[in-house]
Amino acid sequence: MSSDGVADTEHSMQINPQRAQVLAENLSNVLQRVRLIAVSKLKTANDILALHEKPNGHVDFGENYAQELTEKAGLLPRSIRWHMIGALQTNKCKPLAEQVSNLYCVSSVDSSKKADALEKGRAALAEKQDLPANLRVLVQVNTSGEPEKSGVEPDQAAELCRHVREKCPHLHLAGVMTIGAIARSQASNSAESINEDFVCLREVRDKVVQELGITREELELSMGMSSDFEAAIAQGSDEVRIGTTIFGDRPQKKDAKIKDERAEEK
């Protein structure tokens, strides 16, 4: 254990060299084209460490579950930039923002209550230690109209964006995000494909920047996953969230392990 209470990963986790090479090649193929969040949900901390350590040095990793992110953050170097990309309950916003100092971005803000809770958490953390920057947040937009999807309606995005900018001094509104309909994602598997959800998010961004009086460069587009990132990049995405293309198929949640016990035995 290091002096600041963070586990010494050099001695607590082992990396499989063959596995590390496969992960690195998969990562490089996407990194050559766009900023990439490596979605590591249900994958081991060993896999994350393999991509974070040199020569790869990847820093941006995304998690879907607050508890899993918090546990991994306690094991891995603070030089990692964690992205909370999954749906986040309001009551989990403040603890996450307060407990994980290297939480870099919350990509699933879809209500003013969640924004306010993240603000309270980050403000509490700022009282304990110096923070290099405000916590980045993305406003999630439900571009597909599916009732089971998280996200604000497109015509409500500007109001929430304004709230973050004006009422949350410890947060930084970095952009807008969407997770499109599965059917459209599966059909949009090439750069030539046009995904209506991505078109909608671009239109939402343009409306927000006009209403808030800011520039396009101040509001990024976050869209595209393993099944549709080619189309997302072609349609102007600034970042993509890639999981299975890099890490391979995920285990069932009940079978997922924070650490690879087989690697630890070697």
Is 262 inside a domain boundary?
no
Instruction: Tally the domains of the chain.
Output: 1
Domain that holds residue 54: 17-247
188 pLDDT more than 70 = no
CB-based contacts of 223-228 (< 8 A; 24+ apart in sequence):
223/177, 223/178, 223/180, 223/197, 223/198, 224/34, 224/198, 225/39, 225/179, 225/185, 227/185, 227/186, 227/188, 227/189, 228/180, 228/184, 228/185, 228/186, 228/188, 228/189, 228/193, 228/195
Query: What is the model's pTM?
Result: 0.86
Is 155 inside a domain boundary?
yes
Cα(261)–Cα(256) distance, rounded to whole angstroms? 11
Is 42 inside a domain boundary?
yes
Tokens 């406003």 locate to: 139
CATH of the domain at 178: 3.20.20.10
Query: What token pair was written down for 48?
Result: 């994350």
Is 260 inside a domain boundary?
no
- The tens digit of pLDDT for each residue in 97-138 reads 999 999 999 999 999 999 999 999 999 999 999 998 999 999
Average confidence score pLDDT of the chain: 90
Please give the pLDDT value at position 139: 98
Which residues are CB-neighbours of 108 under 8 A, at least 6 positions away? Answer: 84, 85, 86, 87, 88, 138, 140, 150, 177
Place 5 in a pLDDT band, splitting at 50, 70 and 90: very low
Cβ atoms of residues 60 and 35 within 8 Å: yes
263 pLDDT more than 90 = no
Is 6 inside a domain boundary?
no
By three-state DSSP, how is residue 110 classified? coil
Is 263 inside a domain boundary?
no
Cα(167)–Cα(165) distance, rounded to whole angstroms? 6
Please give the pLDDT value at position 33: 66
Query: What token pair was written down for 142?
Result: 């439900």
| Per-range mean pLDDT, top range of 25-39, 94-108, 173-187, 245-259 | 94-108
Place 1 in a pLDDT band, splitting at 50, 70 and 90: very low
Is 261 inside a domain boundary?
no
Cα(176)–Cα(204) distance, rounded to whole angstroms? 8
By three-state DSSP, how is residue 257 classified? coil
Within 13 A of 41's CA, how many CA atoms are on the CB side? 20
Is 259 inside a domain boundary?
no
Cα(197)–Cα(245) distance, rounded to whole angstroms? 21
